Structure formats: C-alpha cells, structure tokens
Amino acid sequence: MFFILLFMIFLVMRILPGDPVLAMLGGKAPMSVIEAKRHELGYDKPLLNQFGDYLLDIIKGDLGRSALTKRPIADEIADKLPATIELTIFGFIVALVIGIFWGAEATKRHGGVLDITGRVYAIFIYSIPVFWLGMLFQWFFGVKLKWLPIAGRISPLLRPDKITGMYLFDSLFTWNMPALKDASLHIILPSLALGLIISSVFLRMVRGNMVLMLSQDFVKAARARGIKENSVIYRHALKNAFVPIMTVMGLQLAALMAGAVLTETTFSWPGIGSYLVEKIRYRDFPAIQGTIAVYAIIVVAISIIVDIINALVDPRVRY
Amino acid sequence: MLLELKNLMVSYKTREGRVLAVDKVSLPVEEKKTLGLVGESGCGKSTLGGAILGILPRETKITGKAIFNGTDLISMPSKELRFIRGKDISMIFQDPMTSLNPVMKLRDHFLETIFTHTKTSKEDAIAMAEQALKEVGISSNRLNDYPFQLSGGMRQRVMIALSLVLNPKLVIADEPTTSLDVIVQAQILQLLKGLQEKFKMAMILITHDLGVVAEAADDIGVMYGGHLVEYAPKFKLYKDPLHPYTKDLLASVPNTNIDDKELRFITGYPPNLMNPPQGCRYAERCSKAKEICKQKIPPDFYTDDGRLVKCWLYGEGEGK
Amino acid sequence: MQEWSLSYRLGKGLRRLFRDKSGVMAFVGFAILLTYLIMAIFAPYLAPYDPVRRSGKAFSAPSKEHWFGTTNLGYDVLSRIIYGAKIALKIAFLAVAVAAAIGIPLGLISGYVGGAFDRILSMFMDAIYSFPGLILAIAIAAVLGPGVINVALSIAVIYAPTYFRVIRNQVASLKDQLFVEAARAMGARNFSILGRYILPNVLPSVIVVLSMNLADAIMTEAGLSFLGLGISPPTPDWGYDLSNGQRFLLLNYWWMILFPGLAIITIVLGFSLFSEGLNEFLNPNVGETRR
C-alpha cells in the first residue's frame, strides 16, 4: 500500500499538467536554463527510473532539497513534525474522551437525553469547518476575553531545551514550569478546535458499534448473570467494540492530520501542515512532494500501530 | 412452590405495531423440579424466560406477577432484580458460541460473576470456578483460555458451570442444546439433568424439541401463539394430551415407541401476534374448532387432577 | 372538489413523511438545500449589491444598509454569501458527479469481473481512500492551480474511491446470488445483467453516499479556498472570505467571519440531514433505531 501511495504521489506531482521545472523557474526562463535544471533534478530520465531513484532516496531518508531554501527537505520536516504530532495527540485525546464516553453513555438509554443530544451534537459539529471554529475561539477567548494566546506554540523567550521537539513534553522533562504553562496555554485552543470537530465522527462510530455490540448474546448473558450495567457497557460491550472502533480511528487519525493542516494554518502553528501550505504558496514542488510522502509514511505507520493494538486487545487476532 | 407466574403478559413495540408475545400466562414452577416449556418458534416461550429475569429490551412492557420466594420479580426495581440474576436465578442460552465474551478469559467470566454477587477472596473465587468446571467435566487449567479456544459443546458446559457457580435455586435454560451436534446435545442434556438433581435446583427448560422435554422434564407447559394452552405432569401429558394442539404436536413427532401411527403434520401457519385472532389462537388450524373457538379466547380450565388446559372443549359446552 | 382531494392526498403523504423522525430530518435538510439552490440560481436578483464592487464604507458593522456588514474592501458580506452559494454548489455538484462517473463504472466492472484486475484496482482505490482526503486534494489542487474545474477535479479524486468501494463490494456479493445466476443461466448478456439486475440493487446506497459526499465536498472546497487553493479572488467564495476575515480578527470585525461560516455550516447541515434521513428511509434495517 505504501508503494502504491508513493507511486501515486509521484505520478500526481510529475505528470499532471504544469511542468514543475517551468513552474519553478517561471515561463520566461531561457530554454537552456530549463534543460540544465531538468538534468540537475533528473527529470530527463525515463519515468520509471525516476520513480526508482525517488524510492531509493526515500528509503535512505532523503527527500531531496527544497527548491526554495536549498535545505534538505527531510531536515525541514523533522523540525516541524513534533509540533504536528503534539497538536494531533491532544486533539485526538479531546476527540477520544468525548467520543467514547458520550458514545457509550448514549447507548445506556435508547432515546434518552444523552442519546438525543449526542446525535444532534454529532450532526451539528460535523457541519462546522475546523478553521471557522478555531477563528471563533480566537475571537472569543483571545480577542474578547483575552484569556488565551491565539497563535503560535509558545512565547519565543520561553522555548524549552529541545529533547523531543514537543514543547509540553520537553518542558516537563526539563522541569521548566514557565515554559510548560505557556505551551499549555498555547495548545488549548487549537487542540480543542481540532478535537471537537473530530469528536463527532468518534461519537457516531462508538455509538453505532456499541449499539451493535449491546444486541449480542454475550451482553444479554452478562446481564442475565446480574453484572452491573456499567461493567456491561464498558467491559463487555466497549471492549468488544474496540477492534472495529480502533480500525476506523486509524483512518480517522488520517482525517485528524488533514484537519491539522487547517488548524495549523488558523493558529499559525508551525507544523508540517503550515509547512505544506507555505511551500505551496511558493510552488516549491520538491518540498510539497516530500511533505506528502511523509504523510503517506505516517498513514502506513498508523495502520501498523492499529494492527498491533488490535492484537493486544483481541485474543483472536493474537493467537 | 418456588416460582409462580400469575397472568404474565409481555408485549413489545416494533415499527409495525405492538406485538403481544406472552398473553396471560399463569404457571407454577415447583422446587427441585424441571418444567419443560415447549412450543414452536415465536410462541413466546423464550420471551417468557427473559421476562422472569427482566433482561428483555427496555421497550418491552411486562404486566402480571412472577412471585419468586414470596417476592414479585416483575414489580421489583431493576437495581434489586440485578442481585437475583445470576445468583438465585441464572440463565443458559441457546448459542454458546456467542454467549461468552470473546475478549475475556473464562476465569474473568467466573470472577466477574462471583464478585458481583458475593464478597469472596480471589483464591476462594478461583477455587469455586475450578469446582464448577469440574462439575461440568472441564479441566481447571482451561480457566486461562479464551472462549474461541473451546468447541461449542465445551462452551455450553462453561455456560452451565457459570450459571451454577453461585448455587442458584432456579436455572432457566433457553434452548440449551439446539445449536449443538446431536451427540453433544444428549451429553449436555444429561449433564444438565444430573446437575439439577445433584444441586437440588429447579429448572425451566425452554425448547421446541419434544424429545428434550420427554427426557428431562417433570412437568410440561405447552405454549401456542403467546398462550399457555396446556400444563400437566409429563407422564399424564404424554399419555393423555388434552389440548388439540398438544395432540397434534405429539402426533407430528417421529417416535420409535409409537410405530402404529403414521407421522402427521399440522397444516397452516401460527397466528400473527401483531394482529392476533379474536378467539382461540389455535382455532384456525384446529380440527375440532367450534363456533365459540373463533369468537372468544377460552379461559384456563383446570381438571380435577390439577391440570390446566385452555380450550373450549373442556368447559362451558361440555365437549368431551 | 378536486383541489380538496389533492390537498388531502398531499396531507396524507406529508403525514406519512413526518411519521418518524427520519422523514422530518430529510425534509428539513431538503428545505435548507432548496433555499441555497434558489439563492444560487437567482443570486443576481436576490443579492442587494454587486459582490465584487465597493458598496459602502470598509468594515461597516451590520446595519440596515448592510445586513451582514461589509469587508475590508467595502464589499457587502450578504451579497458575497449569496453569490458564494453558487460557487460552492457548482464545485460540489461537479466534483461529486465526476467522482461518481469514475467510481461507479469502475466499481461495477471491478466487482463483476473480479480477478487480478479487481485486485489491482482495489489496491489503488484503497490506497487513495486511506490517505487523508484533504491533503491529497491540496496536493492535486496545488499542481492544477486555481479555478472551478481544477478544484472540482481535485475533490473528485478523493471521493471516487468511496463510490468504487461501495459499488464493488455490493456487486461482488450480488453477482453470486440466485437471481443473477438465474439470469445468467437464461442467457442474459453480461452488460444487461449489470444494467438490469445489479445496478438497481446498488443504486439506493449510491444515492445516500452521493448526498453525504456533497456535504463533504462543500467542506473540502471551503478548506481548499481557505488555504488559498480555491477560486481566485475576488470571486465570492466562503472559504476565501473566511481566511480574508481572519486577517482582521484582532480588530474585532467579527461579522466578516461569522456569516460566511454560518453559511457553510447550514448548507453542510442541510446535506447531512438530508442524507441521514434518506439513509434511514431507504435502509430502515440498519439496526440503529432498534435494539
């Protein structure tokens, strides 16, 4: 799957209308310069050879150099990646908590308050663009109430020493309290906006799978043994619903990253999403291609992690 | 009398309308005895079992009484009823393949049940579980297995052990052998019967299989279309069935003991409970149906020797 | 008399529609969509001002003259929202039509033919499907450049696999069913089996996917134009207006972001409600409503 993804990215970037070299240099560059550039970038070789070279480079961890800054793209992305991971983790936690608890509680009483409000919430939240929710937060909590910072990851002077590149963890490890506080304040709004939007999908999915599980025989059998309703819901039904939920959540994590692109742009969050948008603005095609390839790597990594977690939860997969 | 059902009625809502699944059933369950509840699928026998334990979906409406040890289970708040489920009354289900939680070890099934109802140390609880497994013929080192590692018959044994571990007074077995292979069926039935006698429990054996009740039951209740049409001790019922449905039912069972009669079948279909007939539910398929059978539902008639039959042939107009 | 019977029949139909909430949901969604459709079609008559011409002072707050206020260039926000419906719907419909036109035939053939062809095509489609849609659309839009057709195409690429998967899986399970085998046994040609026996069976789920995708397509379009990858300004476009409004957020010009956002929310809500209601209506046995 990984190679297919890379191949498609490669095709899209290389074949779709618009010669990347022309785009880079502008239409008025003399032919000789264009040819030279083509040769330099290896664009004059047959397509499959180009793909082979590209693949080898990626395996070596080389994503090429940015046409703009001339720095290795892998290095540039490595600088930005921790910010995105940090945002995604916290957004995911927000979505997970809302999705699982609301979704599970909603199934306790069919047609009850939590069930109905949950369904309305899911449909409504799903219709809100994440960047608009972000702006609303910025305006309300930042401009009106002046409670929270609305842009960036941390105040420049407080940046903690780099360990993981994720400021919250770094400041925790180095016990740098002012930095921890500042970074926490910065991440609240973006992760909340991102998490709330994704939570609607989680909520629906958890609810749907739980309803399915609660109609199973072993749930009826557990009830017949007098097991507490909370145990029935969380231990019996939720644990069994976990495998389908995890699988879809893996896919949703990909959606979370897509949402992160918009969230990062909204909150000037310096992650790979902002990086991608910036590179598009300057038509830096090698960098765009590299970023997309990194996304593909992340998608594949997530699906592997999901499989591992599934095996941990479900004995049938493990044996 | 351990459990007495009085005018038990169960109805539930579907998209198309209300279904009256169990209609005014009154029935005794004697201590240490097995009551066999027979009928075709959809006659309400399983619903009846679920209603006693209160594990039917919330939309279900239950009226009447189910008096267990002097207290009514139907009017009992669900929080209190939960303490009876699994401890005093337990249940065995039809499909052992799906009745155990696939991601929980057998051990945790037992521990969860034991800890829910008693204050026991972990060591004692495991000892109880091992003992219960021994009773059903499963080695105690299976406790660390997951359900999918066991065959269907073994899982049903586990389900039985699980329902016996707290020494209940009543076990409701809902088609406990239906989904098993024929040979395993016989083993499981024997096991159940033996354990019931050994632990002096009462049992409600719900099945569509007359062979099963013939083997294991002491008393038999026959259900049709949500009604209890006949209730009698097993030998009386087999020797001298009163209700036409019971007669037809017995005649339609291949029985090696009765070789002088040819096998018959009952024509027609069971009634639609969404829109039940006005009179006796069996009137349309009954060869002895009279005018009144189609007009009015027959009341429960009791014979002198305490049998129950819900048929106009035995009252009012003096049919027999 | 005739009128009475007509209205009577209408009332009866409506009552049936409103009997359960799926009908109500579909109806509300449909009403919202109809409103936007009318807005889009009759934009020149409905909009109070030209959306790309200065119509008052810059940054004027909502008032009698400008219900939703004006932008930094003095454009009327309301007029831009009305005209924006046109762009949003145009791109969404175009994108979904292209996606369906690619995904449905491929899915039909792939599911019916099976074999290596099916496996390879499925692999490709699954790969696209598993990739974050917006990011893929961003990449394609970045290469293609701005414009209605280009944006629609980049959105179409990410939704084609949805149709492909839905259709392929259903066809694969349908083609071995008895009524199809019977048709084959009676000598029906592959083409007519596909068209006459299989397509009608998969169509209901396609319709639901279609209306859900329209919601997602509007969202994606808004996201793309928010990132500056949509239609070139100053063409009225909700996503672009939002990113434009964000620049002045610190100055407390809230109306520049509030109203375009609400426009996106309501139209997406309209599509979601419609598809949700339709889904329960067409496939009542999803088991969600019953326990």
- Confidence band of A223 (pLDDT split at 50, 70, 90): confident
- Minimal C-alpha gap between C226 and chain B (Å): 45
Query: CA-CA-CA-CA torsion for B286, B287, B293, B294, nearest 10 degrees?
Result: 70
pLDDT at A109 over 80: no
Q: Write out the DSSP string of C257-273.
A: HHHHHHHHHHHHHHHHH
Token pair 């097991």 is at which residue? A227
Q: What is the dihedral of CA B97, B98, B99, B101, to 10 degrees?
A: 110
**A135 → closest Cβ in C215, C249, C273:** C249
Which residue, A170, A183, A198, is CA-closest to A92?
A: A198
The whole-angstrom separation of Cα A35 and Cα C161 is: 38
Domain range holding B294?
Answer: 3-88+168-319
Q: Is the pLDDT of residue C25 over 90?
A: no
Judge whether B167 and B198 are in contact, CB under 8 Å. no
Asked if pLDDT for residue C286 goes beyond 50, the answer is no
Task: Sheet with B18-29: list strands edge to edge.
Answer: B18-29, B3-13, B61-68, B71-72
Q: Do A13 and C215 touch (CB under 8 A)?
A: no
C291 vs B: CB within 8 A: yes
Query: Using CB atoms, which residue from A109, A226, A313 is nearest to B83?
Result: A226
Tell me the pairing of strands B3-13 and B170-174. Answer: unpaired
Q: Look at strands B170-174 and B219-224 and give their pairing.
A: unpaired
pLDDT (mean) for A163-185: 78
Strand extents, DSSP E, chain C: none
| Chain B residue closest in CA terms to C289 | B15
Domains and CATH numbers, chain C: 94-291 (1.10.3720.10)
Query: Is the same domain home to B210 and B286?
Result: yes
Cα A97 to Cα A80: distance, rounded to the nearest angstrom: 27
**Residues C81/C68, Cβ–Cβ less than 8 Å:** yes
Helices then strands, counting H and E runs in chain C, come out as: 12, 0
As separate numbers, helices (DSSP H) first and strands (DSSP E) second, chain A gives 15, 0
Measured over the CA atoms of residue C141, residue C144, residue C147 and residue C152, the dihedral's sign is negative
What pLDDT is recorded for position B13? 78
Based on the fold, state whether residues B143 and B292 are members of the same structural domain.
no
With contact defined as beta carbons under 8 Å apart, do A289 and A58 qualify? no
First to last CA, chain A: 25
3-state secondary structure at position B229: strand
Among B234, C167, B112, residue whose Cα is nearest residue A232: B112
Amino acid at B112: E
First vs last C-alpha separation in chain B: 31
Under 8 Å CB pairs connecting chains A and C tally to 140
Q: Is A220 on the interface with B (CB under 8 A)?
A: yes
* Residues of chain B below pLDDT 50: 317-320
Q: Quickly state the pLDDT bin for C95 (edges 50, 70, 90).
A: very high
Q: Is residue C244 classed as helix, strand or coil in its secondary structure?
A: helix
CB of A65 less than 8 A from some CB of B: no
Average pLDDT, rounded, for chain A = 80
**Predicted confidence (pLDDT) at residue A14 exceeds the cutoff of 90:** no
Identity of the highest mean pLDDT range in C93-102, C228-237, C271-280: C93-102
pLDDT at res. B262: 61
Domains identified in chain B, total number = 2
Residue B210 and residue B303 in one domain = yes
The neighbour count for residue A14, using CB atoms within 10 Å, is 17
pLDDT at C288 (0 to 100): 36
Element (DSSP H or E) covering residue A179: helix A177-214
**Does the pLDDT of residue C227 top 80, yes or no?**
yes
Q: Which has the minimum average pLDDT: A39-48, A122-131, B151-160, C21-30?
A: A39-48
Nearest CA to C163 among C120, C111, C117? C111
Name the 3-class secondary structure at B28: strand
A210 pLDDT higher than 50: yes
Q: Where among B142, B167, B192 does a domain terminate?
A: B167
**For the residues A105-126, what does the mean pLDDT come to?**
82
Question: Which pLDDT value is given to residue A29?
Answer: 64
pLDDT at C1 (0 to 100): 39
Question: Partners for B (CB, 8 Å, 3+ pairs)?
Answer: A, C
ipTM of this complex prediction, to 2 decimal places: 0.80
Would you say how long chain A is, in residues? Answer: 319
The reply to whether B221 and B232 lie within a common domain is: yes
Task: Quickly state the pLDDT bin for C64 (edges 50, 70, 90).
Answer: confident
Mark whether B191 and B149 lie in a shared domain. no
Cβ–Cβ < 8 Å for C253, C101: no
- Answer yes or no: do B93 and A316 touch at CB < 8 A: no
Residue pLDDT, tens place only, A145-158: 888 887 777 777 76
**What is the pLDDT confidence band of residue A23, given thresholds at 50, 70 and 90?**
low
Distance from CA of B55 to the nearest CA of C (A): 12
Check A236 against B117: CB less than 8 A apart.
Answer: no
- Same domain flag for B52 and B153: no
Please indicate, yes or no, whether residues B260 and B237 belong to a single structural domain of this protein. yes
Contact C135 A258 (CB under 8 A): yes
Beta strand extents in A132-195 (DSSP E only): none
C284 neighbourhood in chain B, CB within 8 Å: 15
Q: How many CB atoms lie within 10 A of CB B39?
A: 25
Whole-angstrom distance, CA of residue A165 vs CA of residue A58: 23
List pLDDT tens digits, range B79-102: 888 888 888 899 888 888 888 888
Q: Tell me, what's the pLDDT at B319? A: 41
Contact list, A240 vs chain B (CB under 8 Å)? 101-103
Best mutation target among B14, B15, B58, B59 (most C Cβ atoms within 10 Å) is B15
Section A309-319 average pLDDT:
75
Bigger pLDDT: C148 vs C69: C148
**Residue B41 has what pLDDT?**
80
Q: Are B110 and B200 in the same domain?
A: no
- Residues B130 and B213 both lie in one domain: no
Tell me the backbone φ, ψ of residue A211, rounded to 5 degrees.
-60, -40
Q: What pLDDT, on the 0 to 100 scale, is given for residue A94?
A: 92
Q: Report the pLDDT averaged over residues C244-263.
A: 82
**Nearest chain A CA: its distance from C162 CA (Å):** 14
Other beta carbons less than 10 A from residue C138's beta carbon: 28
From chain C, the residues in CB contact with A258 under 8 A are 132-135
Instruction: Kindly state the tokens that stand for B123.
Output: 């060591």
pLDDT of C287 over the 50 cut: no
C284 touches chain B (CB under 8 A): yes
Co-location of B142 and B186 in the same domain: no
Q: Are residues B236 and B189 in the same domain?
A: yes
**B108, B43: one domain:** no
